[in-house]
């Protein structure tokens, strides 16, 4: 049963969501991005709930993930005046490290859609949801393999997360301006976004350095206290 649940989780996150985004960006020409956004939200929740085992601990885990998502959203508001310098990625990574890949994906994707209620929803929202979601999911997977235990690895992943976010978002950039995806246009978009990507990377490292110890210690105490 656990193998089946794992397969479903991976299929939804790595297959269903990208296909839904592709459908929205091509077949629907971004005209139904609200529907795509809602679909991603639903598909993000299902894998998270499939990880539930004990009812009491599950409720506590859900509350903590909701709180971390709220912190991520609040951080994006607070640093709104500073372009491209946000704590969303750092909070998403820490959530994944302490609560697993699915919790990381959920926090990243919901941070995007909830905060965009303030910053503005649009056809870019599904791409942001997937970008931050996958950053969280991969952080959780790498942590399970022991690759996120040391600070140098954590900070390296922070840098790679900035690059990953830019790579995904520039797919939308090309589709938005060219109407179709082309390698030349994509490479041009990546090249022009280098300064912004650099800010993403620095931002992730700064917030991970600032939040790793205080947030990590509290999350670890909560996990032990509530048996999560």
**CA 147 to chain CA mean position, Å:** 19
Triad 94, 100, 106: Cα angle to 5°: 80
Q: What is the CATH number of the domain that holds 154?
A: 1.10.1760.20
Predicted confidence at residue 5, as pLDDT, reads: 77
Which domain, by its residues, includes 27?
A: 2-226
Q: Which pair of tokens denotes residue 5? A: 């649940």
The closest alpha carbon to 7, from 42, 46, 56, belongs to 46
Over 70: is that where the pLDDT of 216 sits?
Answer: yes
Average confidence (pLDDT) over 164-183: 85
Predicted confidence at residue 29, as pLDDT, reads: 62
From the CA atom positions of the chain, what is the Rg in Å? Answer: 17
Under a CB-based contact definition with an 8 Å cutoff, are residues 173 and 189 in contact? yes
Domain total of the chain: 1
Over 80: is that where the pLDDT of 207 sits?
Answer: yes
Predicted confidence at residue 179, as pLDDT, reads: 67
Residue with tokens 């996958």: 134
CA atoms of 189 and 175, how far apart (whole Å): 11
Least confident piece of the model among 2-11, 102-111, 145-154: 2-11
- Higher pLDDT: 149 or 156? It is 156
CA atoms of 51 and 16, how far apart (whole Å): 18
**pTM for this predicted structure:** 0.89
**CA 196 to chain CA mean position, Å:** 18
């Amino acid at each position: 049963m656990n193998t089946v649940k794992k397969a479903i989780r991976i299929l939804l996150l790595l297959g269903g969501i990208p296909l839904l985004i592709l459908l929205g960006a091509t077949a629907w020409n971004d005209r139904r991005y609200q529907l795509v956004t809602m679909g991603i939200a639903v598909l993000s929740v299902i894998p998270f709930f499939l990880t539930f085992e004990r009812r009491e601990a599950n409720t506590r885990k859900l509350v903590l993930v909701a709180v971390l998502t709220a912190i991520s959203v609040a951080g994006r508001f607070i640093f709104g005046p500073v372009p491209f310098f946000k704590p969303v990625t750092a909070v998403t990574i820490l959530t994944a490290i302490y609560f697993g890949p699915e919790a990381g994906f959920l926090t990243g994707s919901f941070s995007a859609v909830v905060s965009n209620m303030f910053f503005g929803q649009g056809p870019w929202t599904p791409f942001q949801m997937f970008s931050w979601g996958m950053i969280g999911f991969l952080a959780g997977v790498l942590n399970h393999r022991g690759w996120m235990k040391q600070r140098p690895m954590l900070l390296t992943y922070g840098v790679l997360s900035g690059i990953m976010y830019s790579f995904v978002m520039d797919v939308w950039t090309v589709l938005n301006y060219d109407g179709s995806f082309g390698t030349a246009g994509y490479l041009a978009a990546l090249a022009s976004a280098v300064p912004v990507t650099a800010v993403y990377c620095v931002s992730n490292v700064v917030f991970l350095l600032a939040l790793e110890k205080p947030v990590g210690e509290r999350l670890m105490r909560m996990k032990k206290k509530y048996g999560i």
